[in-house]
Structure 1
Amino acid sequence: MTTTDFAGQTALVTGGTSGIGREVALQLGAGGAHVVVTGRDAERGAATVRSIVEAGGSADFVAVDLAEAAAVSHLADEASRLGGGHVDVLVNNAGMFPFGPTAEVDVETFDAVMAVNVRAPFTLVAALAPAMADRGHGAIVNVSTMVASFGMSGMSLYGSSKAALQLLTKAWAAEFAPAGVRVNAVSPGPTRTEGTAGMGDGLDALAATTPAGRVSTPTEIANAVVFLASAAASNVHGVILPVDGGRLAV
């Protein structure tokens, strides 16, 4: 991509202060977009914005708890305001990923995961996609997971929430493509981020089940997200793009 691929566009990246989301935000900023970064940690948010600005881009940080419905609706309004009245790229990256037996999941955890992983993207798309459609262009990229496509012990809650997001990706593609809005998703495999650090050797063991046999980097996932958001994917709609070392191929 050139440094002007996203010039004049506003991009909203949820969970953009660390890991995959931060790398997506940095790449979109380098591509010329004004990036609205969200997260719960103001210090990490400020650091991400600073990195984008120091590289020659522009960005703002909005602190938000995506588990709160009213906060998500406010985020959509605030992102539009910060973007000069428009959001052209939406990256639904933020997610909760608790692992463990189904019988140990309590109601509070279930509700929180579904709120962040499903309701928040749904709310943001409902708020922002119609305006994209009115303008005749826009790109939405959802970040899913390989365990949304096959069963794995301990992944029932996380996998099912992301499976819902994958179906929404296809439904939204069918709904908004006629108006020029592209909706796609990236399905990462094991990726080394701050969020997966607690998995320890388990992350490498999971990666060993893939043909490539290694853990992905946030940059590798972000490359796919930014591709789908860019004009290089101008007629790509409703795709779930695996970046998982070939796990879904076997």
Structure 2
Amino acid sequence: MGMSGLTALVTGATAGIGRAVAVQLAQEGAEVVVHGRDAERGADVVAEIEKAGGAARFVRADLADSSDVLRLAEEAGDIDVLINNAGVYKFLPTSGMTDALFDLHMDLNTKAPYVLVRALAPGMARRGRGSIVNISTMAASVVTRGTGMYSASKAALEQLTEVWAAEYAEQGVRVNAVAPGPTRTPGTDDMDAATLKAVADTTALRRLAEPEEVAEAVVFLASDRASYITGAVLDVIGGRPAIG
């Protein structure tokens, strides 16, 4: 219960990695602010946490709208741990991109975390402690077909991670990122077996990660167990297979 007495905000916490992170943070003793767009799914996550003896509440917000992001920060209150997990991914070649889709990726994957950090990190700094973990992707550093918009938005987030780490280090606020590889989420449910195997075979472990496995890395970086780690991007990608 190393996070007893702390409050954590997890964006995109109603499914996949975000949900697993919210549940594990609650198990560590944190009170969790569960963010999402679907109130019913949010209530389900809160109920799961409370059933296990934890504390949580749900706040709905549209992270594509900066004013709504600021409202989320205000309703969340004093936050000790911020997990910027919510995001969007649409895989298209450059010729198939649209201005609207490009803006959506940048707004959700890059601008929303920026607005939340700008709103919440100063309070952490005043209190002399805090931890921020941004969820990036393997595609930010590995060229992957059709991921231009997504990869660019997450690469920008990784750069911001390093900048924020330097800006807030002396005030006791750590900022890190986790870059997952292929992970089993609701988005993989529609994939056929052959596609899933092809994706899994891009890893040395030859399988997809479970959301809980990625969450373990996120919660570690968020916790005092990682007290001397800041400005890092931790790959959780199952290794890379050898060539040949």
Same fold (TM over 0.5): yes
**By how many angstroms is 1:210 displaced?**
1.5
**By how many angstroms is 1:197 displaced?**
2.6
When residues 53 and 169 of structure 1 are mapped into structure 2, their CA distance, relative to the original with a 3 A threshold, is same
| Structure 1 CA distance for aligned equivalents of residues 219 and 113 of structure 2 | 18
Q: Which moved more, 1:195-204 or 1:54-63?
A: 195-204
Partner of residue 21 from structure 2, selected from 16, 24, 35? 24
Q: How many corresponding residue pairs?
A: 242
On the 8 A contact 2:204/2:241 being kept in 1, the answer is no
**By how many angstroms is 1:199 displaced?**
4.1
Match of 1:173 in 2: 165
Match of 2:183 in 1: 191
Residues 106-117 of structure 1 mapped to structure 2, 5 A cutoff: 106-117=98-109
Residues 68-147 of structure 1 mapped to structure 2, 5 A cutoff: 68-80=65-77, 86-147=78-139
The residue type equivalent to 1:210 in the other structure is: T
On the 8 A contact 1:184/1:240 being kept in 2, the answer is yes
| Structure 2 CA distance for aligned equivalents of residues 179 and 35 of structure 1 | 23
On the 8 A contact 1:221/1:243 being kept in 2, the answer is yes
On the 8 A contact 1:189/1:247 being kept in 2, the answer is no
The residue type equivalent to 2:216 in the other structure is: N
On the 8 A contact 1:145/1:188 being kept in 2, the answer is yes
Unaligned runs of 5+ in 1: 81-85
| Structure 1 CA distance for aligned equivalents of residues 45 and 144 of structure 2 | 34
Partner of residue 151 from structure 1, selected from 130, 134, 143? 143
- Cα RMSD (Å): 1.3
Q: Which moved more, 1:108-117 or 1:204-213?
A: 204-213
On the 8 A contact 1:96/1:158 being kept in 2, the answer is yes
Partner of residue 210 from structure 1, selected from 203, 217, 222? 203
When residues 222 and 248 of structure 1 are mapped into structure 2, their CA distance, relative to the original with a 3 A threshold, is farther
On the 8 A contact 2:164/2:175 being kept in 1, the answer is yes
- Percent of aligned positions with the same letter in both sequences? 56
When residues 199 and 101 of structure 1 are mapped into structure 2, their CA distance, relative to the original with a 3 A threshold, is farther
Q: Which moved more, 1:193-202 or 1:17-26?
A: 193-202
Give me the TM-score of the superposition, normalised by structure 1: 0.94
Superposed CA deviations along residues 139-174 of structure 1, whole A, max 9, x for unmatched, are: 000001001002111111111111011111111101
| Structure 2 CA distance for aligned equivalents of residues 186 and 192 of structure 1 | 16
Runs of 4+ in 1 over 2 A off after TM superposition: 195-204, 247-250
| Structure 2 CA distance for aligned equivalents of residues 135 and 180 of structure 1 | 9
On the 8 A contact 1:242/1:248 being kept in 2, the answer is no
Unaligned runs of 5+ in 2: none
Give me the TM-score of the superposition, normalised by structure 2: 0.96
1:222 paired with 2:219, answer no
On the 8 A contact 2:202/2:241 being kept in 1, the answer is no
Match of 1:11 in 2: 8
When residues 114 and 203 of structure 1 are mapped into structure 2, their CA distance, relative to the original with a 3 A threshold, is farther
